[in-house]
Chains A and B, each alone.
Chain A
Amino acid sequence: MVKNNINDYSGIAIYAEQKNGKLHSVVPELIGIAKTLGKNLENNKIKVILLGKKIERLEKELFSYGVDQVLLVDKPGLDFFHEDSYTTLITEIIQEIKPEIFLGGATNLGRSIFPRVSAKLLTGLTADCTELEIDETSKLLKQTRPAFGGNVMATIITKNHRPQMATVRPNVFSPAIEDRSLEGEVIDMSYINIPASEFELIEYRQEVTGTKTLEEADVIVAVGRGIRGADSLPLINELTNKLNGAVAGSRAAVDAGWVPYHSQIGQTGKTVNPGLYLAFGISGAIQHVIGMRSSEVVVAINTDPNADIFKIADYGIVGNLFDVIPEMINRLNILGGINESN
């Protein structure tokens, strides 16, 4: 394999995903980690690639996070689903600016276009990184990510190829702090010609809130034996609606008829990995845990302090869910509802 001359590559590039003129929440987080990495790099300049149509005001926002340059391509034919056009453009830009590190979000879009770009550039890509670090001696980017469904972590390096590409999961790194006084340089690259996208949009079915399936839900409220009976459901539903989540159950809850069959989580039910999994009155038998342990954050509420669920929970309250849930609803009302993440 022809190795790129790695000495030609320096600085950090970031792909700023946007949709309908709004930056994805992962972008400030990418900038945040890029700044941290920059502290250990000779060239710590951050360049951001921004593509789309009618997206001018986003440059100001990007500069407020503290980036040096925004490489802008703003023209028709660059809707968010024109992924093929995006990958061609990004490749050309990267070939021109030659960053040693290129970061993007491990979003739906990121997981599609970053591998494609890495193949065009014949370089290494590590997806879904949860840790990024510059190695003291080698100055290589150490990219750490989960494997085997989260059971194991792997640290990966791209030794001889550039740029070192990595995608990062949203909500893992802290966002850079905004400072509206900051400025930067806009490089308009709209002159780059790219062939029209081969994808034609037939329909865009945006979902109605509240119809999320368990696999898509960001928040799952799961109930077990501890809820005692179907009478507890209105309370569970009230909390779930407040959290914009979906209700699920352990096998016992499903067997008792409290939760529909297709909402069973576990070895003989569904496997889910939402951002937040709240387990109410679930003891945590392995047959259940197998279905939910790769959830990002697990909260357990159970009266039994020895319940196995606490072994895998990130947060726990030893208490009665009939007390905890009303208090949660109360607090959430005071805090003023949930911010919808994009």
Chain B
Amino acid sequence: MKIVVCIKQVPNTTETKINPNTNTFIREGVESTINSFDYYAIEEGLRLKEKYGGTVTVISMGPPQSIKALREALSYGIDNAVLLSCKQFAGADTLATSYTLATAIKKMDADIILLGKQTSDGNTGQVGPQLAEFLNIRHITNICGVERVNKGESVIIEKLIEDGVLVLKSNLPIVLTVIKDINKPRFPTLKGRIRAKKIDIPIWDADSMIFDPGKIGINGSPTTVQKIFRPSNIGGKGKIFAGTLEENVENLLYELRNDRKVL
């Protein structure tokens, strides 16, 4: 069985610092890591391989430094890795990213393509479904379990929805986006890391295959970020109720129910 996992390297920080003059992120001194949801996708890929045989390839689109994330993925036992990186790919929104990944993945004849539900920086969760569209195959999001694969033909999965779990059957090939806690990701062994260091990671650029230049990078991105700013509620704009006990509770519940609609 051929499994492909798409991963993204993201900044490893819980505190984001914005340069107030240019309205861009301060990236110096910020380390990178594999996007947290992607660890679950990697683990699921490895488990499927262990159960059904085959190979797992990991692919990422990003700046050259992203090779670090791919190297780490290899240390978990992934068979091979590919990095899509060049100037022309840069500045891509999710649509252009999905198109670029799809063009590369088309060459791989994958049965199952796994992604994490969303990234910790973009948080959109859009690449999975868009990628599936460019590949012209099925997709299902929010996967909390893969029950069975009928090799080469179909898969039975569990999808988490608001009020429960749907167990669905679908033919292959398919794109699946997984949620956290679908599994418990393993950690790299020292052996795995040594092996990973020796594996060659090819870097494909805009000339490596046929890309429509109007669909990659900035040209292929219908959306653009106009500005970024800090939300005003960081730093506490909280409302402290300062009346009697009865007044405070009454007012609190009123606001929660009527204004914020969380009760």
Contact = CB atoms under 8 A, between A and B. Distances in A.
| A and B, direct touch (CB closer than 8 Å) | yes
A51 to B, nearest CB: 17
Interface of B is mostly: mixed
A38 interface: no
B198 interface: no
Interface in A327-342: 327-328, 330-332, 335, 338-339, 342
A146 B228 CA distance: 9
Contacts of A202: 156, 167-169
Contacts of A205: 164-167
B93 A124 contact: yes
A153 B95 contact: no
Given A115-B94, A204-B166, A151 B234 contact: yes
Interface in A207-227: 207, 215-216, 218-219
Contact of A276 (B234, B237, B256): B256
A112 B142 contact: yes
B130 A153 contact: no
B231 to A, nearest CB: 5
Nearest to A330: B249
Contacts of B129: 112-113, 115-116, 119
A37 interface: no
Contacts of A90: none
Contact of B120 (A148, A290, A300): A148
B167 A119 contact: no
B125 A147 contact: no
Given A122-B222, A198-B170, A116 B162 contact: no
A335 B140 CA distance: 41
A342 B164 CA distance: 12
Contact of B220 (A1, A296, A339): A1
Interface residues of B, number: 84
Nearest to A150: B231
Contact of A147 (B122, B142, B235, B253): B122
A137 interface: no
Q: Which of A112, A159, A161 has the most CB of B within 10 A?
A: A112
Interface of A is mostly: mixed
Interface in A115-152: 115-116, 118-120, 122-128, 142, 145-152
A218 B262 contact: yes
B109 interface: no
Given A146-B231, A153-B230, A219-B262, A108 B248 contact: no
B170 A200 contact: yes
Interface stretch (A65-73, A183-191, A250-258, A310-318): A310-318
Interface string B124-147: 111111101110001111100000
Given A148-B120, A161-B222, A200-B170, A119 B134 contact: yes
A290 B15 CA distance: 10
Q: Which of B94, B169, B222, B225 has the most CB of A within 10 A?
A: B222
Q: Which of A151, A154, A155, A276 has the most CB of B within 10 A?
A: A151
Nearest to B239: A315
Interface in B214-248: 214-215, 219-231, 233-242, 245-246, 248
A58 interface: no
